[in-house]
Structure 1
Amino acid sequence: MGFPVDLRRCQALGLAGTAFLALGGETAGALPAQDFLAPGSVQAVLGLVGVYFGVVLLIAAWVLLGGVVRGPEPPTPRSLLLVLAVWAAPLLLAPPLFSRDVYSYLAQGAMVDAHIDVYAYGPAQLGGPLADEVAPVWQQTATPYGPVFLVVASVLSALTRGQLPAGLLGMRLIALLGVALMAAALPRLARHSGADPAAALWLGALNPLVLLHLVAGAHNDAIMLGLLGVGLVAARGRWPVLGVVLITLAALVKAPAALGLVAVVALRSRGRGPRAVLRHTVTTTTAAATTTVAATAAAGTGYGWIAALKTPVSPHNWSPTSLLGRVTGAALDQLGSGLAPFALPAWHAAGLLLTAALLLFIWLRLRPGPVYALGLSLAAVAVFGPAVRPWYALWGLFLIAAAAPTGSVRTRVAAASAVLALTVLPSGAPADVEQVILAVSGGVLALVVLWQAHQAARPQSPVRERTA
């Protein structure tokens, strides 16, 4: 008999994981400047070890829960939603983890509230304590986010009057609302795609990446994905225009969601002729354009968000095209070539061309179901775009979870998720050797604890009495 696994044990183990995450984050998270501790201090060391101890426990709980979901008596979607709520609860009041982006969101909201053009200036233009919390690399950078998100951030700024604790809590509640919309949409999209709703929830909502980056990190990707998910549900049902409106609003949070409009056309015209495709394309385009104009006018931020899509990315991002660009540029520089400055833009352009080719292949040649095609498309955008972050993987993963045609696809995506969950420090800062060692130590300690629990749960072999 192996390690005893059931829904309750998985729930308790995951709760222990997020509790350690929250506790460790109090000294090792992406803390405000006034609470920042030196990385080598005892509290910061214990916090970093504790966070990675919790991350490994959470991953283990999620993997074991996957076995329960695939078992002979899988839990209901409602039971899984309860597990999600329990796992997320300790993170509600935790400091930001794994990224400082939430401080940028709050500063941008304050800028809109102060009538500063966020598409022309970075948070440094705002000045003051709130802007000081923004990572240095983004101080002079205009926002890449759409008017819908800026309205949300501006309203939050006005409500909290620039108070940091209230702002952080408010932004996390907004992210939780996005996660709730994702969780509500997943079972419905799965049923429509012929997939298992429980498996979709396990992979797409209970995924450690969701808890670490959308809940603990309070990323605005949660709002984008939540609106995208409920928009697709509406579009495949009786409210196609409402679906287009919601998906357009998602794109006005972050631009990649605009690919959802292609899925709407495919959903509405599937199995019909070219005339139906043309009709639904015109209807979708008209509704999306009207929503864009209305939302931009209501936000009052103008159309600077279009040019802001070219906002420069961090020089240390992980994208394959950026990495190849830096390597190529360094090699050309060593050779004394004057082409070195063009290496990075050239690779970024190549990435965009490759992404476009992949999208055409997915939609015109591969032709999977619309929801699955959208998931693959968003995954391609995330991988070959100019910047890659672990939470970008959720763009495609969310919809792949809802519509993956085989269990092997889910297994591979789950394995990638588990690896990505271990790749960022809780402070959101670049790692050094000492911090990597501490993080690994926390993870190994969790594995030791899990192994000991496994050994203790094994039935003991009866001791045979010696015969004379």
Structure 2
Amino acid sequence: MTVPSGARPVGRAARSARYVGLVGSVLLAAAGYLGGALPDAPLGVTPASIWRATDGPAALTCWLVGTVLLVGAWWSLRDGAPSTRWAYVTAGLWALPLVVAPPLGSRDVYSYACQGWTYAHGVDPYAVGVAAAGCPWVDTVAPIWRDTAAPYGPVFVLLAALAVGLGGGLTGTIVALRVIAVAGLLLAAYCLPGLARAVGLPARRAAWLALAAPLVGVHLVAGAHNDAVMLGLLLGGLLVAIRRPGRPAALLLAGALLGLAVTVKATAVVVVPFAVLAGVRHPYTVRALWRDGGWLAAGLLGALLVTSAASGLGFGWVGGLTHSGDSEQWTSPPTAVGFVVDYAGALVGRDPQAVPVLRAVALLLLAGMLVVLWWRAWRTLRRLDADPVAISGRALVAPVRVEVARSRAVLRGAALALVATVVLSPVFHPWYATWPLALLALTAGRTTWFVLPASAAAFLTLPDGTNLARFTKAPGAVAMTALLLTVLLRAARRQRR
């Protein structure tokens, strides 16, 4: 299938965006050196105390101006860069200053380092926290995560231990973890053109939105979050399944890649049912689903079993997932609604303790939504078998158009599954917004509805990792609840029409 490149002339607006964003990236790197998440930076500080620090005003100014410039440049081309190559080059330019910057926006990379050190020294990171394990760098880890078990799968623990072995000291370990994160992004960048061809669109929009996003540069490159590795493996698994449906060897490979993604971060599991649909060779029957889906499931299960056994850790990492909700922030919609209910109860002398209840309800709702999204994708594929021309349109030759429609149905379902996971999870951190970006860029008709919140999320943290949601609990919860009600009312009105 041949897809037009969709390249456009590089105009003045695009050139301006490239260099405005580069200036923003340089300013963010400068903010990192002036007041980033450095190993000896004070923990548990407030925005006011950061401002009163020696370099505080300069650090916060560079951070704010740099974020505004980078977000503005990314936003200005949200409908697509002039070409895929131009998008890759620009995203690379923006990433260069952040590759050499100190950790930014979060201290999670120090948790990774200590978890890797714990495993490398023969201690089970799923049984004890990094403080009890005796990690020499425990003072760099945020206090909330010092006594909790690692919530990541064995593959990432092995990667973190490898980083410790290669890096030697703390600085070398952080550098190695950043290299691993960049490798994950490079894998994602490699997969994007193939996925774009599968849905019949030029890759320039997906490449721009997925790779040049400020959240990617700050949190996946400078912050070295393991989400980058998960995304690379996730897109790789989807690409193999879409390009080689019905072929056992390819489906085993796709399942293995998805299994590795799950054993980096469990979030990837919500995409697996849609990858099964991608791997089915039509016609779409229940028998074909069991046949081809079985091969993919075998690859995934094999990856889970092999990595769990090879690491010697078994499935202890599943228990660590229960601690991921220890942090309560209004940036999670169910948590924000729970806060508001508790505030309302306090006004009448009650203590509803609504946060855990609403979090549980949201997880049940998420499970239901995932089932509905999968069923809708399956029904679309079945309808394409029954009447391909009516469903896929007559604009192109039917076989080509039908394959495009199939791929779009699967990837759209996977994208919406990730969106639902982000919205309904008990915790939201800014880098979580990077999960659905690439798939939404490949399947969503309009971009504003997901680019806008991703842009807003770039302002939620300070360079040293301070989360501004901690200091805006009540107003943030009320604002999030009001936003959620507004969205639901608009959706209801649209449905009635």
TM-score, normalised to structure 1, is 0.84
Is 1:428 the counterpart of 2:428 in the alignment? no
Structure 2 residue corresponding to 1:206, chosen from 204, 212, 237:
212
Alpha-carbon distance change, 68 to 9 in structure 1, aligned in 2, over 3 angstroms: farther
Tell me the equivalent position of 1:45: 57
Alpha-carbon distance change, 58 to 146 in structure 1, aligned in 2, over 3 angstroms: same
Tell me if structure 2 keeps the 8 A contact 1:235–1:241: no
How far apart, CA to CA, are the structure 1 residues paired with 2:471 and 2:110? 26
CA-CA distance at 1:275 after TM superposition: 1.0
Runs of 5+ unmatched residues, structure 1: 436-468
Structure 2 residue corresponding to 1:412, chosen from 449, 453, 474:
449
Letter in 2 for 1:260: V
Tell me if structure 2 keeps the 8 A contact 1:112–1:154: yes
Comparing 104-113 with 192-201, greater Cα deviation is found at 192-201
Is 1:378 the counterpart of 2:418 in the alignment? yes
Tell me the equivalent position of 2:224: 218
Q: Deviations over 1:225-268 (max 9, x none)?
A: 01111111112223222111111100100011122321221112
Tell me the equivalent position of 1:346: 357
Q: Deviations over 1:7-65 (max 9, x none)?
A: 44332221111111001111221111268896112412101110111111111222334
**Root mean square deviation of aligned Cα:** 2.4
Tell me the equivalent position of 1:439: none
Tell me the equivalent position of 1:175: 181
How far apart, CA to CA, are the structure 2 residues paired with 1:315 and 1:360? 28
Letter in 2 for 1:386: P
How far apart, CA to CA, are the structure 1 residues paired with 2:272 and 2:121? 33
Letter in 1 for 2:432: Y
Runs of 5+ unmatched residues, structure 2: 1-10, 245-249, 381-407, 473-497
Is 1:362 the counterpart of 2:368 in the alignment? no
Tell me the equivalent position of 1:273: 285
Letter in 2 for 1:52: L
Comparing 419-428 with 289-298, greater Cα deviation is found at 419-428
CA-CA distance at 1:346 after TM superposition: 1.6
Provide the aligned length of Structure 1 versus Structure 2. 421
Tell me the equivalent position of 1:57: 69
The aligned runs of 1:313-328 (5 Å cut-off) are: 313-317=325-329, 318-328=331-341
Letter in 2 for 1:324: V
What secondary structure sits across from 1:422 in the alignment?
coil
The aligned runs of 1:200-349 (5 Å cut-off) are: 200-238=206-244, 239-269=250-280, 270-317=282-329, 318-329=331-342, 331-332=344-345, 340-341=352-353, 343-349=354-360
Runs of 4+ off more than 6 Å: 432-435
Letter in 2 for 1:109: G
Tell me if structure 1 keeps the 8 A contact 2:219–2:431: yes
Alpha-carbon distance change, 33 to 127 in structure 1, aligned in 2, over 3 angstroms: farther
Alpha-carbon distance change, 206 to 416 in structure 1, aligned in 2, over 3 angstroms: same
CA-CA distance at 1:128 after TM superposition: 4.8
Alpha-carbon distance change, 381 to 51 in structure 1, aligned in 2, over 3 angstroms: same
Tell me if structure 1 keeps the 8 A contact 2:117–2:135: no
TM-score, normalised to structure 2, is 0.80
Q: Deviations over 1:275-313 (max 9, x none)?
A: 101112222222211111111111122210122221242
Alpha-carbon distance change, 374 to 67 in structure 1, aligned in 2, over 3 angstroms: closer
Alpha-carbon distance change, 18 to 116 in structure 1, aligned in 2, over 3 angstroms: same
How far apart, CA to CA, are the structure 1 residues paired with 2:316 and 2:200? 41
Tell me the equivalent position of 1:401: 441
Tell me if structure 2 keeps the 8 A contact 1:193–1:369: no
Q: Deviations over 1:432-459 (max 9, x none)?
A: 9999xxxxxxxxxxxxxxxxxxxxxxxx
How far apart, CA to CA, are the structure 2 residues paired with 1:192 and 1:167? 38
The aligned runs of 1:89-100 (5 Å cut-off) are: 89-100=96-107
Tell me if structure 2 keeps the 8 A contact 1:7–1:68: no
CA-CA distance at 1:200 after TM superposition: 0.9
How far apart, CA to CA, are the structure 1 residues paired with 2:470 and 2:325? 25
How far apart, CA to CA, are the structure 2 residues paired with 1:361 and 1:433? 34
Letter in 1 for 2:443: A
Tell me the equivalent position of 1:463: none
